[in-house]
Amino acid sequence: MTIWEIFFYSLIEGLTEFLPVSSTGHLIIYSHYLAKENDAFIKSFEVIIQFGAIFSVLVVYWKTFLSSLQFYKNLFVAFLPAAVIGFLMRNLVNEWLGSILIVAWSLIIGGVILIASDYMFKTTASNGKSLDKLNYKESLYLGLFQCFALIPGVSRSGATILGGLALKYNKKAAAEFSFFLAVPTIAAATLYKSYKILPTITSDQITTLLIGCVLSFLIAIIAIKTFIKLVSRYGFKHFGIYRIVLGVLILLLVK
């Protein structure tokens, strides 16, 4: 991999992992249209640099992760649906990952829903509940919402945030819980995939992986902090518009 490829893959991962625009969808788009090659190591690189993005949440919200045992109980309940359903559907999901059309339509449909959410949950988004009201039943619902992101292009954070808004949580609470839930969800998926691919990694590739992890970590920190400010002030419609434009552009380019 060239230094530019390392940077762009890390930029996409760090920037889009926690935004409601789908990091998986963007990586598929980049690999499909812009990457010069898509060998086994690039696939491994895409997986392993997710550790950098995960660590960014722990750093930004370290106080929350040291807050209480109840926090971890809610997180575990919310994690279970994706763990179970994701494992059972893993073969089908791998097939979906090869479809740029699925990504395009998921981006468009998700964009429409995000724009609609600003109107549907206008009052709730500003004056809704905070996370200290979260219970096991609602945690399970949020976990089920997250499962929609098994479809490439849907966005794990976007699905979870919409679930939070539907449960009458405010924008900040819904967005932050999507960050928290990313830690066990992405960590489990990444560890599972890493277990299979680590034997294929050579010693000269380790430096490349470390650079990618550090870059995705730094970029993800900026993305998280910026996203909370943007959502609190402007809502989700701009992310929705971006998704629709990108999805339509992909459909126009598909041959």
Task: Kindly give, in sequence order, each residue whose CB lies less than 8 Å from that of residue 98, ignoring residues fewer than 6 positions away.
Answer: none
How many Cβ atoms are within 10 Å of 229's Cβ, its own excluded?
10
Write down the residue that tokens 């086994």 correspond to: 40
pLDDT at 36: 55
CA distances from 55 to 15, 113, 130 (A): 14, 29, 24
| Token representation of residue 62 | 């370290």
List, for the chain, all residue ranges whose pLDDT scores fall below the cut of 70. 34-39, 124-126, 255
pLDDT at 233: 81
Q: Number of structural domains, the chain?
A: 1
Long-range pairs for 90-95: beta carbons < 8 A, 24 or more residues apart: 93/150, 93/152
pLDDT at 121: 84
The parent domain of residue 172 ranges over 3-253
Q: Which amino acid is at 159?
A: A
pLDDT tens, residue by residue, 178-212: 999 999 998 988 888 888 788 888 888 889 999 99
